[in-house]
């Protein structure tokens, strides 16, 4: 059994690596092949220089992602078949036992993986982003962010880890359900706490000043029956020139946040249209649907781990000599990204569908033309390629390709207000559109 599972996992790992490399090379080749000409649909609004900058930026990021793939594969192999986990087990078991041992083991792996990622992250931030004019972060701010993230992770993560390991030890065969419920509760707590106490540790949030934009947004929120009235501007320009807008929190902690860089670049109607798109996610309950799906998958995976955690062959097949609760939890976290990779296009498809729904909602509640113009500016400002490889985009992209998205919005702007999210008549979407008419990085 160990040999069969080990062989199967290695074959899956090699297959995933080959697939990711193939997709990466396709993306680079396709973007480079279309670098010389701006797509006709964007020729009047995107300059050749901006188009080529986006192509070069995409290629540079794609190449760096291959370095990241090599690094994460190396870390995985060193920890498993390279004996890294065995060495950590021997070291920590000689000093601790019980919960202290489990916490030390898992925390040390997290720390080592984070340290291995730092050189790549530094290159990404201070070389690649600087090369294309996006980086505004100083080394001091980078270090400050790292320290805060580490302390915050320890403050929140270590008690959660201790509680998880404790439940796994005392709850018997049904531990996975208790751990799942704890994890769900913790994430809901973070969703509530993030806008109030966590995000302000890293950025300044200023209430949107009274004026024409505030008045337009208040009117839009009334049309959309959206109860939140806390609208903030975030100093995103401290770290990057990329622009964005997003919702965060839930209940009374719900907030609308604009990056200052976005407000600097877009006109008032365009900002309103971008916000209407974000409100479309709320209207269609996309956050609830995604959260429910993620929670359901987490419970399923925990139930699967319950079947493996006491099986010696599970550990032996991954190069680990000694199996225990902590090691089982750790191994599952290491192999899950590999085994779960085939789900990537499915999750991307759901996300793209949600984006089309939000765009259609924005077209009804604001302006399809203004949203289209805003997106074109954001594509240009963020150097997002207009010519992604179709297969790479199908697999990875959480947002539809620019050409598809803008074409749909132009169709809506031309008067076809009864578009559905999939391009065909849809009773639910059609009905929603009719009801709205009777009543009257867009996140990356």
**Antiparallel, parallel or unpaired: β 231-234 and 255-259:** parallel
Average of pLDDT values for 273-297?
Answer: 93
Q: Count CA within 13 A, CB hemisphere, residue 184.
A: 18
pLDDT given at position 416: 53
Phi, psi of 211 (to 5 degrees): 160, -165
Q: Place 215 in a pLDDT band, splitting at 50, 70 and 90.
A: very high
Spatial separation of the C-alpha atoms in residues 21 and 193, rounded to whole Å: 38
Spatial separation of the C-alpha atoms in residues 353 and 350, rounded to whole Å: 5
Q: What is the mean pLDDT of the chain?
A: 90
Q: Coil, strand, or helix at residue 29? A: helix
Q: Place 431 in a pLDDT band, splitting at 50, 70 and 90.
A: very low
Q: Place 280 in a pLDDT band, splitting at 50, 70 and 90.
A: very high
Place of tokens 């867009």: 442
pLDDT digits (tens, 9 = 90+) for 185-199: 999 999 889 988 999
Query: 444 pLDDT exceeds 70?
Result: no
Query: 443 pLDDT exceeds 60?
Result: no
Average of pLDDT values for 53-78?
Answer: 97
Spatial separation of the C-alpha atoms in residues 355 and 442, rounded to whole Å: 8
Is the pTM higher than 0.85? The answer reads yes
Nearest to 325 by CA among 340, 339, 314, 337: 314
pLDDT given at position 436: 35
Q: Is 117 exposed, middle or buried (0-12, 13-18, 19+ CB in 10 A)?
A: middle
Average of pLDDT values for 33-59?
Answer: 96
Query: 417 pLDDT exceeds 70?
Result: no
Query: 442 pLDDT exceeds 50?
Result: no
Nearest to 365 by CA among 415, 439, 420: 439
pLDDT digits (tens, 9 = 90+) for 379-414: 999 999 999 999 999 999 999 999 999 999 989 888
Residue 36 tokens, joined: 């010389």
Q: What is the Cα 351 distance to its own chain's centre? A: 11
Specify which residues 256 forms β-bridges with. 231, 247
The torsion of the CA quartet 268, 270, 276, 280, rounded to 10 degrees, works out to -160
Spatial separation of the C-alpha atoms in residues 431 and 289, rounded to whole Å: 20
Output the DSSP codes for 65-102: HHHHHHHHHHHHHHHTTTSHHHHHHHHHHTT--HHHHH
Query: 34 pLDDT exceeds 70?
Result: yes
Spatial separation of the C-alpha atoms in residues 64 and 132, rounded to whole Å: 14
* Angle, alpha carbons 17-19-22 (nearest 5°): 105
Query: 420 pLDDT exceeds 90?
Result: no
More confident: 439 or 397: 397
Neighbours of 258 (CB within 10 A): 24
Helix ranges restricted to H, 253-343: 260-265, 268-283, 286-308, 312-316, 325-339
Average of pLDDT values for 284-300?
Answer: 94
Least confident of 130-139, 160-169, 239-248, 322-331: 239-248
Nearest to 206 by CA among 145, 260, 271: 260
pLDDT given at position 228: 63
Spatial separation of the C-alpha atoms in residues 193 and 185, rounded to whole Å: 12
Query: 15 pLDDT exceeds 90?
Result: yes
């Amino acid at each position: 059994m160990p040999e069969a599972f080990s062989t199967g996992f290695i074959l899956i790992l090699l297959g995933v690596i080959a697939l990711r490399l193939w997709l990466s090379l396709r993306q680079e080749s396709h973007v480079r092949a279309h670098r010389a000409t701006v797509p006709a649909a964007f020729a009047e609004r995107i300059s050749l220089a901006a188009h080529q900058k986006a192509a070069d930026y995409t290629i540079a990021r794609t190449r760096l992602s291959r370095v990241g793939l090599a690094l994460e594969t190396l870390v995985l192999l060193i920890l498993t078949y390279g004996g890294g986990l065995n060495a950590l087990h021997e070291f920590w078991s000689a000093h601790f036992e019980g919960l202290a041992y489990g916490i030390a083991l898992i925390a040390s792996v997290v720390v080592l993986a984070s340290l291995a990622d730092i050189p790549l992250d530094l290159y990404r931030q201070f070389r690649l982003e600087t090369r294309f004019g996006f980086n505004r972060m100083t080394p001091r701010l980078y270090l400050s962010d790292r320290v805060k993230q580490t302390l915050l992770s320890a403050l929140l993560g270590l008690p959660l880890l201790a509680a998880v390991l404790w439940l796994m030890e005392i709850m018997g065969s049904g531990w996975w359900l208790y751990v799942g419920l704890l994890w769900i509760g913790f994430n809901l707590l973070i969703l509530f706490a993030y806008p109030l106490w966590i995000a302000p540790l890293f950025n300044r949030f200023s209430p949107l000043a009274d004026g024409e934009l505030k008045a337009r947004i208040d009117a839009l929120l009334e049309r959309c029956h959206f109860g939140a009235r806390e609208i903030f501007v975030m100093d995103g320009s401290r770290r990057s020139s990329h622009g964005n807008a997003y919702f965060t929190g839930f209940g009374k902690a719900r907030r609308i946040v604009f990056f200052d860089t976005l407000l600097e670049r877009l006109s008032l109607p365009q900002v309103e249209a971008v916000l209407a798109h974000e409100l479309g996610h709320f209207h269609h309950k996309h956050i609830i649907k995604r959260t429910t799906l993620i929670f359901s998958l987490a419970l399923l995976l925990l139930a699967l781990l319950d079947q493996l955690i006491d099986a010696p062959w599970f550990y032996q097949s991954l190069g680990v000599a000694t199996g225990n609760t902590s090691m089982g939890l750790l191994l599952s976290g290491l192999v899950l990204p590999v085994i779960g990779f085939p789900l990537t296009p499915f999750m991307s498809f759901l996300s793209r569908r949600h984006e089309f729904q939000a765009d259609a909602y924005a077209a009804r509640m604001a302006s399809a033309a203004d949203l289209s113009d805003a997106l074109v500016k954001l594509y240009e400002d963020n150097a997002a390629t207009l010519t992604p490889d179709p297969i790479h985009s199908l697999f990875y992209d959480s947002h539809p390709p620019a050409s598809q998205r803008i074409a749909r919005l132009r169709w809506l702007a031309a008067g076809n207000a009864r578009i559905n999210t999939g391009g065909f008549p849809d009773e639910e979407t059609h009905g929603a559109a009719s009801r709205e008419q009777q009543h009257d990085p867009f996140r990356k």
